[in-house]
Amino acid sequence: MEIVLVLVITAGAVWLFVTERFRVDLVALMLMAALILTGLVLQFLGWGAPGRWITPSEGVSGFSNPAVLTVAAMFVLSAGLQKTGAVEFVARWLEGLARHPVWLVLVTVLLAGAVSAFINNTAVVAVFLPMVLAACARGGVSPSRVLIPLSYAAQMGGVCTLVGTSTNLLVNALSERAGVGSFQLFEFAPLGVVLLGVGSVYLVVAGWWWLPHRRGVQRVESYQLGPYLAELRVREDSRLAGRVLGQTPLSRGDMVAVLEVLRQGRRLFMPLQETIRAGDILLVRADPRALMELKADWGLELLPGFAATDASLEGEELKLAEVMIPAGSAWRGRTLSSLNFQHRFGATVLAVRAGERTLQQRLSEVELDVGDALLVLGPGEALERLRQDPNVLVLQPVDEPVLRRHKIPVAVGVVAGVMLLTALNVLPVMVSAIIGCIALVAFRCLTLDEAYGAVDWRVVFLLAGTWPLGLALEKSGAAAGVAEAALFLTGDANPWLALAVLYGVTALLTEFLSNNATAVMLTPVALSLADSLGVDPKPFLMAVCFAASTSFTTPLGYQTNAMVYHPGGYRYMDFVRMGLPLNLIFWAISVAMIPRLWPF
């Protein structure tokens, strides 16, 4: 009964993860609640064997788990390096390679991979992305040649150390709980460095042939805005002349938006408080049908010579910028109207690229998601306000005077100290990471509010919520049952084949589920599989770590892939073409090397 119930709950959670009907952190909390409530009902009814179901205290134990606390601390350590400009300092080396595409790709991969071994890989991509785009623009290199390598390299670097990815920390904690030991900080490095090296060569060589070579196009063209932008002159007999724009129906709704007023050589941006005069030229965003209705109803004259380009929208004060919704953003699931975007930032959203769609109308009603890109028009100070908001990523490098560059040596020293204390086994990784966070705040590399804001609570709740699933799979016997079924298919005399199957299943699931959820589900199976075969469990745990943290085949399989999807102008099949062979290469190398580095 316990096995059936656990598998039913697991299947329900997997379905919710895959369909994305709810946010993954909410699904994790629903999973936790379902496991606790089911255990209480079984206890009340007196059904099932004692000790085969999790208790309420075990259900919430993820919130005090060292792996979860370490992940939260690592977000703060990463923020310390970001706020002081240490990571940006490394990324700016790329600008000198702008005219050498092959070197640009290779150095991007090596730098991102090296930094991601010690810093959250999502944070690394967030810092590198504007720098890489600037380098591509300066050297005339297509961003589509560089951004997939950047995302893949961040994943490859993350598997080189214990702290490089939350998956490694989670599997390490599950291993400790099962009593089979823990991993050292650099225990992953022998295989991780090999995969990073092979992957780097693959990205440079195969990328030359398989990555699309899409020359950068104007952003107005990229967002298909041409048919939706027009200039209209206010005629002498216009009903609009003499009226305040904000007091007319033109100030409401998404079908028509007056972006600016051109008056005697001056450009009046967001002119809702302006009194419209005869002779004014209105820059309008509207679909062709609404534009014709606007022209007829208000007595406006269409100017046929207007060409919608980046240059026609930008000026000395106004700038176009692409703004992306990164992983962990509080804007996910929100609309522009609920965010009060225009009033809050003093900028206008011209178009939204969401998934495969590009939207130019009813933008205030669009529900934002991770990876969505907004084309924004506004003055420099508006873009600076956006740059300061942790919920968005401005895809252009902007001078950021708030960086505490004089604190770079301190921040680097603190993070290096954390790694050294962990590597020498002086302190557990959780303790050294928390001390490092305190040091960053004490030495004023970060403010306390910035430290709290740096933590991606979505990931923390995802880890804490999925943690009891692993315990339930173990205690109910479901993990052992799945392991026995796997042995029935692979045979109990060939641990290599069992390892290959486990790696393949993990790699497949992580393309559709969260990498952490995949690790939580399959780590108990890996432990049971090793126990049934009578071999050391470490090779199987390593297979779960490496397979769950390297998701290359789909743009939404890993957070960094989603981050480069739109800025690189990619299509879904670009990831399949480039990522599937790399996943197969990693599968072959890992299955061949893991038993040699960690013998059965």
Q: What is the pLDDT of residues 422-451, one digit of tens each?
A: 888 888 889 999 999 999 999 988 888 888
Please check whether residues 235 and 151 belong to one and the same domain. Answer: no
Is the residue at 209 inside a domain?
yes
Residue 29 included in any domain: no
Question: Helices 147-158 and 572-597: crossing angle, nearest 10°?
Answer: 20
- Could you tell me if 212 and 231 lie in one domain? no
Give the CATH number, domain containing residue 359.
Answer: 3.30.70.1450
Q: Is residue 156 part of a domain?
A: yes
Please state, in angstroms and as integers, the Cα–Cα distance from residue 335 to each residue in 286, 329, 338, 339, 477, following that order.
20, 13, 5, 6, 44
Is 270 inside any structural domain? yes
Say if residue 209 is in the same domain as residue 257. Answer: no
Residues 196, 72 share a domain: yes
Percent share of the chain, pLDDT over 90: 19
What's the domain count of the chain? Answer: 3
87 in Cβ contact with 127 (< 8 Å) = yes
- Residue 398 is predicted with a pLDDT of 47
Q: What is the pLDDT of residues 251-286, one digit of tens each?
A: 665 677 787 888 877 888 877 788 888 888 888 888
pLDDT tens per residue across span 7-28: 899 889 888 887 777 877 888 8
Query: Does a structural domain hold residue 143?
Result: yes
Instruction: For the chain, report the end-to-end CA distance as a whole number of angstroms.
Output: 33
pLDDT tier, 194 (very low <50, low <70, confident <90, very high otherwise):
very high
pLDDT score for 197: 94
* 595 in any annotated domain: no
Token digits of residue 248: 């007319």
φ and ψ of 283, to 5 deg: -90, 115
Residue 600 counted as domain residue: no
- Based on the fold, state whether residues 333 and 280 are members of the same structural domain: no
Task: Look up residue 577 and give its two tokens.
Answer: 């073409």
Do residues 130 and 209 share a domain?
Answer: yes
Mean of the pLDDT values across residues 478-495?
76
Same domain, yes or no: 204 and 92: yes
Ramachandran region, residue 166 (left: φ > 0; alpha: ψ -120 to 50; beta: rest)? alpha
Write down the pTM of the prediction.
0.79
pLDDT score of 218: 65
282 and 418 share one domain: no
Asked whether residue 572 carries a pLDDT value surpassing 80, the answer given is yes
Q: How confident is the model at residue 331 (pLDDT cuts 50, 70, 90)?
A: confident
**242 and 335 part of one domain:** no
What pLDDT does 217 receive?
Answer: 57
Confidence check: pLDDT of 32 > 90: yes
Q: Which two tokens stand for residue 276?
A: 């419209």
Q: What does the alpha-carbon distance between residue 64 and residue 521 come to, in Å, rounded to a whole number?
A: 19
Asked if 354 and 300 sit in the same domain, the reply is no
Residue 101 belongs to what domain range? 67-216+405-457
What pLDDT, on a 0 to 100 scale, did the predictor assign at position 543?
94
For residue 297, being part of any structural domain is answered with yes
